[in-house]
Amino acid sequence: MKDYLQTQLRAVLDTVDDVPDDFEAALEAPAREEHGDLATNTALRLGSVLDDDPRAIAETIAERLRERVDPSRIRSVEVAGPGFINFRFAQDYLFEGLADLLSAGDAFGRSDAGEGERAIVEYVSANPTGPLTVGHGRNAVLGDTIATLLDWTGHEVTREYYYNDAGRQMRVLAQSVRARYEALAAEDVPTKTLTLDDDTTVEVPEHFPEDGYLGAYIVEIAEQVYEDNGSSLLTTESLAPFQAAAEEAIFADIEATLARLNIEMDGYANEQDLHDDGRVEAVLDGLEAAGLTYEEDGALWLETTAFGKEKDTVLVKQSGEPTYRTPDIAYHTTKFERGFDRIVDVFGADHHAAYPDVLNALDALGYDTDRVEVVLYQFVTLVRGDEPVKMSTRRANYVTLDDLIDEVGADVTRFFFLMRSPDTHLNFDLELAQEASDKNPVFYLQYAHARICSIIDKAEEVGFTYDDEADLSLLTHEDEIALIKELLRFPRALQDAAEARAPHFVPPYLRDVATAFSQFYDHCRIIGEEDALATARMHLALAAKTVLQNGLTVLGISAPRSM
RNA sequence: GCGCUCGUAGCUCAGUCGGACAGAGCAUCGGUUUCCGGUACCGAAGGCCGGGGGUUCGAAUCCUCCCGAGCGCACCA
């Protein structure tokens, strides 16, 4: 309907003198019901463009729209206030829409707005050095849902996880495993004492790196290596078997954690491949050719001051190793080479300073950086009531994403990460999250869904059978009409969320659906009414179930039959 | 010091190219049930949208200056 009106409005604007061709006519749902089902502020905005009275412009546009618009879809076109044009839907249109919804079923809400566009969403991208943290969880859920939204709006979507396996971090990881292995495989390995940030101390094997990984999982990996190889690795210099074992074990854990959240990646990309196939070298050559690099103090620098930064940035360290930025640029060139039209990166707030370097470098290399979008999210704090929960005491003990899922469940975890704008710092209240009550909005949605399932069961129980065909025009109660309108907004709600890369637009919409259903349920009986009306209402309830279920599916949250 | 994000009701937050009296949930107070799940529904109360200045017919939204919070400013990722 919105698209239909948009087309009509645009056509009318073409008949009005001096309206610029690129003038965009925006339609939106008014905040108040008495302002109709859809409204446009076009005349108000044209007022300043045309230097004319907005109210008069509105009258002109409204007059021409009334002549144009299909009365079986639009009941009225009215000018109101300072120059808004308000539209009301014809009831027949609503019934047709409802019939379409029912026949579309679990595909209702899908649209082809992004058809022909290939999108890649990069998310999680945690280096495999340990279990996923709660912060990674926000990243994972955000990225996954953005990918789903793009999918539902017709994009061809690839979900990708990128990790650095060539740098210092993984070397320290491998050294940590090796030191633990030595303690198992060799006799009488001496220990040493490490002092942590909080001044506590810990005993570790003598070759344990100063900034090594202290988690118990490292010991488990070392035990596995020992079991597989005995003492045979004591004599090899190479860290490779330790890194490989660690990577494999940790990735298995990461994938298992993601699977609990309904997340499955389409592919993984890693830094080592970018070195092996010469892409990193190619990026350095390209930037040199663009005249943006120089050597100083034995390091290779990128002239980021040319892009307005305060300081230049190191690309290759004195040691000859690249900083993480360099392969990251190379990685992004592969996204362009693979032909993606939309390149979405989901990063934590701590990356905000780094990604402009990547974009500027890509720009200098001749890539169209308008295709790249960065979704930046703020940090997560765990609280239990008023008490902050410590998430990371140095490297060893922290609340992992798995711990969080254990405690509150996957549905609540996903919902809490999705209900807030990525821009706001997230206070994740464990107490509230566990409460299956009014305080926890995810249960409200699931409850409405379960209730509909219960009505369906009840119908069967009392032997009420309803045909596939229903006379939907019997649905004239104000709560029925309100519910239908709400349900028909679903495809548009998903499009808005997808376009804005804003999963948090979806939960409030679903809440409105659940509320509209509850009001309908409260005021309109289904089973027990005479058959034609009961059948129509049953179909309306099924439609509500469809939207709730599809909406929850997009969010990656289950729609239970009972709770 | 510089950069990014944020500051909206007691609390947690929406507010989607600037638009009609600023929205929701929770908490508080009041009401609703012979009947399909009361984990529900209805209502009340609650706001100088951090502060000052500006642009505009119109500002929570844009600009500017203050104040406050988080994050970043590594040859760590």
Q: What is the pLDDT of residue A394?
A: 43
Q: What is the pLDDT of residue A455?
A: 95
Nucleotides of B under 7 A from a protein CB: 1-6, 12-17, 19-27, 35-37, 39-42, 56-58, 70-77
- Residue spans of chain A under pLDDT 50: 393-396
Pairing mode, if any, of strands A156-163 and A267-270? parallel
Distance of A26 CA from B1 C1′ (whole Å):
43
Q: What is the pLDDT of residue A137?
A: 94
Question: Which amino acid is it at A19?
Answer: V
Q: Which residues contact A159 (CB under 8 A, 6 or more apart)?
A: A120, A121, A123, A143, A144, A147, A264, A265, A266, A267
Instruction: State the nucleotide closest to A527 in CA–C1' terms.
Output: B36
Q: What is the pLDDT of residue A391?
A: 60
Query: What pTM does this model have?
Result: 0.94
Q: Could you identify the residue written with the tokens 């919902």?
A: A415
ipTM above 0.90, yes or no: yes
Beta carbons of A290 and A365 less than 8 angstroms apart: yes
Nearest to A33 by CA among A89, A73, A91: A89
Question: Which amino acid is it at A112?
Answer: D
Distance of A485 CA from B45 C1′ (whole Å):
30
pLDDT in tens, A140-191: 999 999 999 999 999 999 999 999 998 888 999 999 999 999 999 998 999 9
Q: What is the pLDDT of residue A393?
A: 44
Distance of A325 CA from B61 C1′ (whole Å):
35
Q: What is the pLDDT of residue A436?
A: 65
Give the number of residues written for chain A: 563
Instruction: State the nucleotide closest to A45 in CA–C1' terms.
Output: B19
Q: Which residues contact A476 (CB under 8 A, 6 or more apart)?
A: A91
Q: What is the pLDDT of residue A525?
A: 93
Sign of CA dihedral A499, A505, A506, A511: negative
Nearest residue to nucleotide B73 when comparing alpha carbons to its C1'? A353
Distance of A94 CA from B61 C1′ (whole Å):
33
Nearest residue to nucleotide B12 when comparing alpha carbons to its C1'? A427
Residue A279 neighbours by CB distance under 10 Å:
18
Instruction: State the nucleotide closest to A54 in CA–C1' terms.
Output: B57
Q: Could you identify the residue written with the tokens 């050597």?
A: A295
Beta carbons of A85 and A110 less than 8 angstroms apart: no
Beta carbons of A151 and A157 less than 8 angstroms apart: yes
Q: Which residues of A96-124 are buried (b: 16+ CB within 10 A; e: fewer)?
A: ebbeebbeeeeebbbeebbeeebbbbbbb
Distance of A355 CA from B74 C1′ (whole Å):
16
Distance of A551 CA from B17 C1′ (whole Å):
26
Q: What is the pLDDT of residue A346?
A: 95
Beta carbons of A543 and A487 less than 8 angstroms apart: yes
Distance of A381 CA from B1 C1′ (whole Å):
28
Q: What is the pLDDT of residue A398?
A: 62
- Describe the strand order of the beta sheet including A156-163 as a list of residue ranges: A267-270, A156-163, A118-122, A342-348, A372-377
Q: Which residues pair with A377 in a beta bridge?
A: A348
Q: What is the pLDDT of residue A262?
A: 96
Nearest residue to nucleotide B4 when comparing alpha carbons to its C1'? A352
